Amino acid sequence: MDWIWYILVLTGAYLLGSIPTAVWVGRLFYGLDIRDHGSKNAGATNTVRVLGFKAGIPVLIVDVLKGFLAVKMITLLPGAPATPEGYVRLQLLLGILAVVGHIFPVFAGFRGGKGVATMTGILIALHPLITLICAGVFFLTLFISKYVSLSSLLAGISYPVLVIFVFPTPFLSMVIFSILIAGVLIITHQKNIGRLIRNEESKADFLMPRNKR
């Protein structure tokens, strides 16, 4: 029956997102749990901070792919919605399930990352140009402030602005999703926001090391 296949694919999107890339890389190759070190976040940035780029870049790539591939899993569904709005809604649902899996991974005790890289994968699959602009906001903010958290927040907040005002979408579900992205980033970065306000947030000097004289 079609509904059984739908359940399997939707569950698969969550399980795909649940792959705890940073946790597994840390345990398998370095004998440590990344969640016990640095910012204690199971994401690419903390992996680079603690283990270096050799470990962090593969983590970033896989985490982005989780969101991208989850959206593309719509091709596995029988009788996908005939209307464009219905199709987009199903793509978004698959992507959201992957993000939920990344934040609450069943394979790592439901303690995952903040979902930024996986969300990026979703955006690449849905809106490559808007994603490129958000990436520009991220790197410009990072260059100026050296705060990864602030860069992620501003890039995420710029997404609904672009979707609603700069590249208006005809899909209400896309508008709601873009707002949800900004909201999720704010929620998952609450501690970072507090540290930014108190001027206690760590700068990403490890990403842009200064030349030693």
* Residues 87, 7: Cα–Cα separation, whole Å: 16
All structural domains of the chain with their residue ranges: 2-197
Indicate if the pLDDT at residue 209 is higher than 60.
no
Least confident window among 46-55, 129-138, 150-159, 181-190: 181-190
Sign of dihedral through CA atoms 115, 117, 121, 127? positive
d(CA 2, CA 103): 29
Asked if residue 1 has pLDDT above 90, the reply is no
pLDDT of residue 92: 94
Share of the chain above pLDDT 70, in %: 95
How many whole angstroms separate alpha carbon 122 and alpha carbon 64? 8
Mean pLDDT of 89-105: 95
Give 97's contacts (C-beta < 8 A, 6+ positions apart).
10, 13, 14, 17, 70
Size of the chain, expressed as the number of residues it contains: 213
In this model, does residue 56 exceed pLDDT 50?
A: yes
Average pLDDT, the chain: 90
